[in-house]
Structure 1
Amino acid sequence: MKNNLLLQADPQFAVCLNTQIKEQLKWLIGLNEIRSGELLPPAAQLADVLKVNRNTVHLVYTQLRDERIVSIQKGRGTEVLDNEHVAKLRRDRKHMHALMAHMTNEAKEQGLSLEEFVTAGTAYIQLFEPAAAPGMRILFVECKEHDYGFYQREVARHTGAQVDFFCLQEAESQPREWQKAVQQADWIVATLNHSDEVRKLLPGKQHMLVTIGATVDTAALLQMAQLSQGAKVVFACLGKKGGQWMSERVKDAGLHNLDCVPQGWNHREELLAQMEKADTVYASGAIYEQLHEVAPGKVKLYPLVLEKSSERLLKELSHKEELK
């Protein structure tokens, strides 16, 4: 049990107390300072340490439970879970940590108040980033062999909507859940890879479907072009189909000098064996951290970016909802 958490609660801060506490806990869990299986302090104890009402901490724990980050069991306590939601939190917070460290250092060098910087940042998002129309909900459909997390985050970023994910392979095996998810959605988004398959699952509702595409960042392509003729390059994603898609985008860009080997995290032994033989490994963001730990000198990030036309399509969805 973590009884020595270095949390802070400042009633004068621009963010409300429960959000302060919740986000600090999410940082500690996201950076693996609090590991899966560990218990958070009892609500009353943490409330006493932070000098806040215990109901505030109860609310925080309930919100974390609703986000599927912890479980609350009577007689046992509040336990950090080991599931895909916690794994996603850790991936996201690792990237956020690097960005926040860079931005706060820049702010300090410019003599800016960090609290003012954070408050101004919130206002900036309200002014310049697309806001979701009230209640807007998007269902994103993709197979689990591709980096579905990247697409889900990008759809949310460009629309401001709540984005639910549904695995394509489960749409036919779980028809009730699929129909319920479709009924709850204002729009359905799929990638070019699977748009035809998703369209067949939407009899009479094809008008709800929006198709998007992604490619690899140009800087990474230029980097690959510098590799020697015949260099063995592993392209790794959550599944081999995702790795195949990554290698095809490289070939589409005219890079035929590489010996491309698609691999998937779902076949780890084969992936690791191929990594040993490879000159370079390009990993999708979903598995980059894991592979970089194995071979830091060999593994590089395969940086996905949405196509500009897809960005425009997503931004238009918010405007369409606002006009309804």
Structure 2
Amino acid sequence: MQPNVLPFRLRENLSLNKLAATNPTNALPIQIDPKAPLAISAQIAEQIKLLIAFGALQIGDALPPTTTLAKQLQANHNTIAGVYSSLTDSGYLTAQRGKGTFVADTLCVQNLIKNNRHYLLLRQAFTAAQEINISPAEFAGAAYAQAVMLSGAQSNPLKLVFVEEQSPSGLELYHLVQAEVGLPIFFAGWIDVIAQQPEVMNQLRSADLVITTTAYAALMAHMSGLGQNKEILALEVRPSVEVLTQASSLPQDAQMLIIGCDRAEAKRLKQMLKEAGISHIQVQTAALEQIQQHPQKLEQFDALCCSLPAQVQLQTTKMIHHPHLTVFRLRLDPTHLLVLKARINSLQSN
């Protein structure tokens, strides 16, 4: 029996609407080969990323429930759940309680769409391999072996760790840093660092460079158990220019509401505005759950500002229609980023 292989003919940038027209079940065009050298979970994850890269899955599109996709692929439900969880942690998907899993609006998704050229190169290589009767499984194995050999011939990669709060905003900052650096980075949640979770502490001790934000730099410097002379580099986080422009243009004593996924996130964003010099307006904070329960309270505010993760959920529910709604996007201090990149280059050259 021939293995099921996805024909990657996505040049037409199919949307889910077009897929639905030819596929009434809304099943994703994913197929798996149990005999391939690549794990089934990796096959599924990479095909989902491919669908995102070429527009078959677009930002905000819903993925099938795990049980539906498991039934379609005749795969274990836990395997699908693990794939969704892994892609969510990596920033490609976002999970919304009670609503489902969606393609995330993150930098790594935008970079995947923008930099999809390697998929085209793989397609060209596979087409050439088919001409000499190399099977998909043989091609995948050969490609993996070549990648391992080439990476092994290079110097050992840097071990980088990013420490931040384990929250939607913390993960947003993690993806910002990873996109700027262009290297694999281990994410260490602050709660796990405080608890000295063994895996996290091992990653911190063996790291060539620990990256964090100014909010945690002093605390990290005084932590025990990291080893002597552990290098910690702090980045300053600021509101985006759009947020500062909106806040600055409001009249004296105007009322602004900052909405976060939880109250702690909203308060942190409020503190960033204060540190940026915004003091002429009245700023209040609210958790997303409060707004969902009492949307009528929004009418009393002159401007609304919500975190990016909160905005994704609000956009899905379509519950807010306010003329002055801005997404509170974060940005990293450009000077600190230059220092980080220069430090990484220096470590790589040693």
TM-score by length of 2: 0.61
The answer as to 2:105 corresponding to 1:94 is yes
Q: CA deviation at 1:319?
A: 0.4
Tell me the C-alpha RMSD between the 2 structures: 4.2
Q: Structure 1: 5+ residue runs without aligned partners?
A: 9-17, 46-60, 73-77, 105-113, 120-131
Query: 1:1-324 maps to which residues of 2 (within 5 A)?
Result: 4-6=27-29, 21-24=47-50, 28=57, 31-40=61-70, 71-72=78-79, 78-79=80-81, 83=85, 85-86=87-88, 88-91=91-94, 93-95=104-106, 134-144=156-166, 147-203=169-225, 204-265=227-288, 275=298, 277-292=300-315, 293-297=318-322, 299-324=325-350
Please state whether the residue corresponding to 2:198 is helix, strand or coil.
Answer: helix
CA distance in 1, matches of 2:313, 2:72: 33
Q: CA deviation at 1:135?
A: 2.1
Tell me the amino acid that sits aligned with residue 105 of structure 2: K
CA distance in 1, matches of 2:295, 2:83: 27
Question: In structure 2, do the counterparts of structure 1 residues 296 and 159 end up closer, same or farther at CA, with 3 Å as the change threshold?
Answer: same
Count of aligned pairs between the two proteins = 267
Question: In structure 2, do the counterparts of structure 1 residues 144 and 175 end up closer, same or farther at CA, with 3 Å as the change threshold?
Answer: closer
Tell me the amino acid that sits aligned with residue 78 of structure 2: S
Q: CA deviation at 1:99?
A: 5.6
Identical amino acids, percent of aligned pairs: 14
Q: CA deviation at 1:313?
A: 2.1
Question: In structure 2, do the counterparts of structure 1 residues 164 and 229 end up closer, same or farther at CA, with 3 Å as the change threshold?
Answer: same
CA distance in 2, matches of 1:84, 1:236: 27
Q: CA deviation at 1:174?
A: 4.0
Tell me the amino acid that sits aligned with residue 21 of structure 1: Q
CA distance in 1, matches of 2:198, 2:108: 39
Maintained 8 Å contact 2:27/2:64: no
Q: CA deviation at 1:302?
A: 1.1
CA distance in 2, matches of 1:206, 1:272: 51
Q: CA deviation at 1:183?
A: 3.0
Question: In structure 2, do the counterparts of structure 1 residues 271 and 157 end up closer, same or farther at CA, with 3 Å as the change threshold?
Answer: farther
Question: In structure 2, do the counterparts of structure 1 residues 265 and 317 end up closer, same or farther at CA, with 3 Å as the change threshold?
Answer: farther
Q: CA deviation at 1:25?
A: 5.0
Maintained 8 Å contact 1:235/1:260: yes
CA distance in 2, matches of 1:263, 1:247: 11
Tell me the amino acid that sits aligned with residue 261 of structure 1: Q
CA distance in 1, matches of 2:280, 2:335: 29
Question: In structure 2, do the counterparts of structure 1 residues 255 and 32 end up closer, same or farther at CA, with 3 Å as the change threshold?
Answer: same
CA distance in 2, matches of 1:98, 1:227: 33
Q: CA deviation at 1:36?
A: 4.0
Please state whether the residue corresponding to 2:65 is helix, strand or coil.
Answer: coil
Tell me the amino acid that sits aligned with residue 223 of structure 2: L
Moved more, 203-212 or 263-272: 263-272
Q: CA deviation at 1:169?
A: 1.9
Please state whether the residue corresponding to 1:286 is helix, strand or coil.
Answer: helix
Please state whether the residue corresponding to 1:254 is helix, strand or coil.
Answer: coil
Tell me the amino acid that sits aligned with residue 320 of structure 1: S
Please state whether the residue corresponding to 2:92 is helix, strand or coil.
Answer: helix
Maintained 8 Å contact 2:164/2:188: yes
Question: In structure 2, do the counterparts of structure 1 residues 223 and 142 end up closer, same or farther at CA, with 3 Å as the change threshold?
Answer: same
Please state whether the residue corresponding to 1:260 is helix, strand or coil.
Answer: strand
CA distance in 1, matches of 2:330, 2:160: 21
CA distance in 2, matches of 1:194, 1:210: 10
Question: In structure 2, do the counterparts of structure 1 residues 174 and 289 end up closer, same or farther at CA, with 3 Å as the change threshold?
Answer: same
Moved more, 222-231 or 190-199: 222-231
Maintained 8 Å contact 1:199/1:206: no
Q: CA deviation at 1:81?
A: 6.0
Maintained 8 Å contact 2:160/2:209: yes
- Encode CA deviations 1:58-80: one digit per residue, 9 max, x unaligned: xxx9xxx9xxxx833xxxxx457
Q: CA deviation at 1:222?
A: 1.8
